Amino acid sequence: MKSSGIFPSIVKTIKKNDRLNQNPLIRTLARNYYRLHNIAAIFSYKRLPASVTGTDCVIDPGAYIAERGVIIGNNCRIEDATVILENSVIGDNVTIEAGSVIGSEGFQFRRFHDEITPIVHAGGVRILNGVHIGPRSCIDKATFGGFTEIGDYSSVGAETHVAHDVVIGENCQINPSLISGHTHVGDGVFVGSGAAISNALTIGSHAWIAPGAVVTKDVPDGYRIEPGKTHNRFIKIFCVLGEHPERNETLRYANMKTEVSESSIIHPTAYVADTSVRIGDKCVIGPNVSILEGSVLGRGVKIGPGSVVGGGCCRLCPQGDENISSCPSGGVVIHNYVDIQANTHIDRSTTGKFTEIGEYSKIDNLVHIGADVVIGKRSLIVASSMIGGGTKIGDDVWVGPGTVISNNVTVGDQAYITLGSVITKKVKEGKVMIGDCAIDRRKFFSFIMAEH
């Protein structure tokens, strides 16, 4: 990360020091610092110059490019439903496929007791010459100035999440995967499909990371990360899918005219269904968002570019020799002050009830939330996670990047699920879960020590 002064370093020190975190004065100073930072970042966007596009570019009419602070080089191709936001610099001969979001807000928050403070990102994204970005990928902008950067002639696969302050070198091949914030990737690196890379790591030049690998430590130059075998030998997956009998219930407000508060901001390219939608006060709906029938949004909800609220789910019901698609009969309720980032999909209920997200919860990029999921208050769901239908997640839960949670699982309050975990059974309150399929962290490390 390119530092913007001494203050980020001070706050980082406070964050790491438990004794300092308990000091009320230090907590107050940190909270006020972030508030001032957010105000300054928002003000800085109003001073950006008008956007500039180079020669011989092909930009689909369905793409959205911010009016200020975007620079696009020559011979670029920007496909349909792409969103390019402020502080994005794109070089020559760059291709960005349909539905990708460049310069989205990073997923970074600070918790002060019961208050969760979002960090407004003041940096940008720099995509150098000859880069190819696949469909529905998300590239977050940097936090304290500087750039998230993708080097010359690198390629980024479909539905890849590149978090804030990541730097990717030249001639890299990044298949559909997840790269967490502040990670530096060297030149000529290969990242396989489904890989998850933790935050603040260094991946050396010409490293090779296998599909599905979970990387939590620095990788030296030229090193190969092979598919993990250690815990696949001893953990058997038990994934018992419960039944959700279809109900013929319909929403009480079905076919009622859509109601949108006058204080809410709806981007011109967003779609809001004409019936059965309610949008509360001071909501912000970004470019290319779809709000479908049966969706209820509370006060102060923010939905990032390309996200879908109230979509149909992939649930098949066996009928003799055929599988019949399940029709949604419920809706989605998003409570007050929920933040949903880019290209996230939230399914409608299939049981006449609601898929529900609790107050002050934050949902990152490329998250899939299945039908009838209930997420409690102040929970954080990080990028590229998938939550199966019927799952219940408690309050103050942290779900790490690239996590998969099976259908009809209960996750207790204040649980912590680490990067790339697979959850197939109930998680008790306050547990820290690790691995695939995820088990209690203490049992996991006890087994590893016994193995060695």
Ranges for all domains in the chain classified under CATH 2.160.10.10: 53-225, 259-441
Residue with tokens 């939550």: 387
- 65 closest CA partner among 74, 55, 56, 53: 53
Burial 315-353 (b: 16+ CB within 10 A, else e): beeeeeeeeeebebbbbbbbbbbbbbbbbbbbbbbbbbb
At residue 88's C-alpha, the angle toward residues 270 and 179, to 5°, is 90
Residues of the chain under the 50 pLDDT cut: 1-8, 10-11, 14, 18-20, 229-253
pLDDT digits (tens, 9 = 90+) for 137-177: 999 999 877 899 999 999 999 999 999 999 999 999 999 99
The DSSP secondary structure of 334-366, one letter per residue, reads E-TT-EE-TT-EEEPPSSSSEEEE-TT-EE-TT
Q: Is the peptide bond before 172 cis (omega within 30 degrees of 0)?
A: no
Active site (annotated) includes residue 37: no
CATH T-level topology, domain 53-225: UDP N-Acetylglucosamine Acyltransferase; domain 1 (2.160.10)
- What pLDDT is recorded for position 25? 73
- What pLDDT is recorded for position 28? 72
- What pLDDT is recorded for position 330? 83
Query: Can you read off the two tokens belonging to residue 91?
Result: 């070089």
- What pLDDT is recorded for position 3? 39
How far apart CA 219 and CA 54 sit, in angstroms, is: 38
Contact 246, 317 (CB under 8 A): yes
- What pLDDT is recorded for position 313? 64
Superfamily assignment of 259-441 in CATH? Hexapeptide repeat proteins (2.160.10.10)
- What pLDDT is recorded for position 303? 97
Backbone angles phi, psi at 34, to 5 degrees: -65, -35
How far apart CA 322 and CA 327 sit, in angstroms, is: 15
How far apart CA 288 and CA 134 sit, in angstroms, is: 17
Query: Can you read off the two tokens belonging to residue 375?
Result: 């997420």
Contact 104, 67 (CB under 8 A): no
Pure H helices in 147-272: none
Query: Residue 124 in 3-state DSSP?
Result: strand
- What pLDDT is recorded for position 239? 26
- What pLDDT is recorded for position 256? 76
Query: Which is the catalytic residue, given 37, 132, 161, 164?
Result: 164
Q: Quick one: 233 exposed, middle or buried, by C-beta within 10 A (0-12, 13-18, 19+)?
A: exposed
